[in-house]
Structure 1
Amino acid sequence: MKDLLGLMGKAKEMQAKFQAMQEDISTLEATGVAGGGLVSVTLTGKGEMKSLKIDPSLFKEEEVEILEDLLLAAHNDAKAKVDATVQEKTRELTAGLPIPPGMKLPF
């Protein structure tokens, strides 16, 4: 019975840690760049775009496709940085827990 109470206590503690981590992630920001800095995108930890900067030299009608590609690349760069940070924070929080491989956290 002590083991069950101890397990429940640990689960409650882990839940509080996940809640704190989710709050921390919501304040996270990552900036992705493309085209050697011609385009930059900043995302929040929740993947929402917070800012977009485009070098004025890209505002040429014949370079619209290039601009579109750079926007996508910068967004994907920022998203990858956010995802990497979230994974690292999750890994730190769950260190030592017997969690099956491939299980995505936080839930």
Structure 2
Amino acid sequence: MYNNWVGYQTYVGIVAGADACLFPLRDNRCAYLLNDNREVVGPWNHAVAWIVTDWAPRAAAQGLTHFANVVSSESMAAQSAEAMFLGIGARLQMRMFGAIEEAQAWLREAQRGVAS
């Protein structure tokens, strides 16, 4: 599944967008999420705690196992993504990428049982 985030992200928008992706993950029994933050403007630290404590456990309970997060390293969103990465810990296999092609390759390898 592919989630593309664009522009400034409000707390309400993040909750709505993240929750909305749970339905197709569940309905399609999809264990792989490509989360694209390359077009996000500004930080989204205001939602990191919610993602870590609320969304990630629910996503894992619905079968999500691999979470590829693509960010531009120069952006303020990268700092928020790093905080999320640290908070999620072992709940999901999560990796940070600077290029979408690398994230896609990692997810494909995971689907074939090559990646951890």
Shorter-chain TM-score tier: under 0.3
Q: Which has more radius of gyration? A: 1
Please, what TM-score do these two structures have when normalized by structure 1?
A: 0.24
Say which structure is richer in strand: 2
